[in-house]
């Protein structure tokens, strides 16, 4: 199951509580010689900001503003130790952290809910169970960081912008306005704009010699065009290329053109890969992310079939399904 079990901490806009409540962390460690005097870090997992303090007689303290929209982790900044992070939501009041304990944090109900959610997610046996855990956590926490983290586990699964918008309709603004959420909305809109039945979007780049070369040189000119978004460092991409080389040979006289779209890559590495793998079909070398942004491509390889009139016929083609799709339209 793709990414769903990873604990994805998405950067969220920090908004401190309007009543100005604060929290105090009272922390402890076994006061060994290599611990006393060491630095302890309190890291805001959502903004990347960090605060530090020193362990004195096995104790340390942090203070800050309570904020249910962020998540903190505390850890000993000392190489060679086995002290694990303590993670908590900074709710108002006292927070007890014992970095030597299995149960490291005593904090408010949101911290308890966060750890319960992560435990249930890790224990999920399949995708269906995991989604149930995620959806429950989001439904119960649409105004705090747990909802933001739960949504982060779900973002890749939405199939349309409308589906995502409906899912977050009554969520807090900091969730709706999160950068990752907005990027996902834009990506889903791009996928819809390049779905089967839509006209292809041109992709501008260069050929191996550095001369301008665009997708419009091939697509919409009376041939079926198979485009492959790929990169030299991408192992799944390299596993698909032999299929494409074979297709290029077998369908060359049947009105089918294979075109590689090199993305997210260094051109020298891509040129070496083309030579090593024996790619003879045209390759458009691109810079930046405009090509993948326009097609809503978040992972590669992404292989699409474009019809003779420039209409996109298929997306997400892989392996033997590529030839099957072409044969269907050539019949």
Asked if 150 and 208 sit in the same domain, the reply is: no
Per mean pLDDT, which range of 4-8, 132-136, 187-191, 246-250 is the poorest?
Answer: 4-8
pTM: 0.78
In sequence order, the β-bridge partners of residue 26 are: 61, 96
Asked if 81 and 150 sit in the same domain, the reply is: yes
Per-residue model confidence as pLDDT tens digits over 103-153: 889 999 999 999 999 999 999 999 999 999 999 999 999 999 999 999 999
Last residue of a domain, one of 193, 219, 238: 193
Asked if 71 and 212 sit in the same domain, the reply is: no
Of residues 90, 95, 99, 85, the one with CA closest to residue 71 = 90
Q: Quote the tokens at residue 170.
A: 């009554």
Last residue of a domain, one of 138, 172, 193: 193
Per-residue model confidence as pLDDT tens digits over 48-97: 999 999 999 999 999 999 999 999 999 988 765 556 689 999 999 999 99
Is residue 48 one of the residues assigned to a domain? Answer: yes
Asked if 166 and 216 sit in the same domain, the reply is: no
Asked if 173 and 59 sit in the same domain, the reply is: yes
Per-residue model confidence as pLDDT tens digits over 268-294: 999 999 999 999 999 999 999 999 999
Of residues 141, 35, 32, the one with CA closest to residue 89 = 141
Is residue 198 one of the residues assigned to a domain? Answer: no
Asked if 134 and 79 sit in the same domain, the reply is: yes
Asked if 165 and 32 sit in the same domain, the reply is: yes
pLDDT range class, residue 35, cuts 50, 70, 90: confident
Report how many domains make up the chain.
2
Asked if 183 and 223 sit in the same domain, the reply is: no
Asked if 129 and 155 sit in the same domain, the reply is: yes
CA angle 197, 223, 159 (to 5 degrees): 25
Is residue 165 one of the residues assigned to a domain? Answer: yes
Domain that holds residue 253: 204-330
* Alpha-carbon distances of 253 from 68, 249, 310, 314, rounded to whole Å: 63, 9, 19, 21
């Amino acid at each position: 199951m793709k990414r769903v079990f990873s604990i994805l901490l998405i950067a969220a806009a920090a908004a401190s509580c309007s009543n100005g409540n604060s929290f105090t962390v009272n922390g402890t460690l076994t006061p060994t010689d290599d611990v006393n005097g060491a630095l302890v870090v309190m890291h805001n997992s959502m903004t990347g900001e960090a605060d530090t303090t020193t362990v004195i007689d096995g104790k340390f303290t942090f203070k800050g503003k309570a904020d249910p929209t962020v998540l903190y982790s505390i850890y000993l900044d000392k190489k060679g130790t086995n002290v694990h992070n303590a993670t908590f939501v900074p709710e108002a009041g006292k927070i007890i952290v014992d970095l030597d304990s299995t149960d490291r944090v005593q904090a408010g109900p949101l911290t308890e809910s966060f750890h319960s959610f992560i435990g249930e997610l890790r224990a999920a046996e399949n995708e269906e169970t995991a989604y149930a855990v995620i959806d429950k956590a989001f439904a119960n926490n649409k105004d705090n960081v747990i909802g933001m983290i739960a949504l982060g586990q779900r973002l890749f699964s939405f199939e349309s912008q409308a589906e995502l918008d409906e899912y977050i309709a009554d969520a807090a603004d900091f969730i709706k306005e999160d950068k990752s959420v907005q990027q996902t909305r834009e990506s889903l809109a791009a996928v819809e704009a390049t779905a089967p039945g839509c006209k292809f979007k041109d992709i501008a780049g260069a050929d191996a010699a550095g001369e301008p070369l665009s997708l419009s040189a091939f697509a919409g000119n009376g041939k079926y065009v198979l485009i492959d978004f790929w990169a030299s460092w991408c192992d799944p991409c390299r596993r698909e290329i032999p299929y494409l080389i074979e297709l290029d040979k077998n369908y060359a006289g049947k009105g089918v053109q294979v075109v590689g779209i090199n993305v997210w890559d260094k051109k020298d590495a891509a040129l070496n890969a083309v030579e090593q793998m024996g790619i003879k079909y045209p390759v458009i070398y691109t810079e930046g992310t405009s090509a993948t942004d326009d097609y809503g491509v978040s992972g590669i390889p992404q292989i699409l079939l474009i019809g003779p009139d420039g209409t996109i016929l298929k997306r997400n083609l892989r392996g033997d399904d590529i030839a099957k799709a072409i044969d269907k339209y050539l019949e």
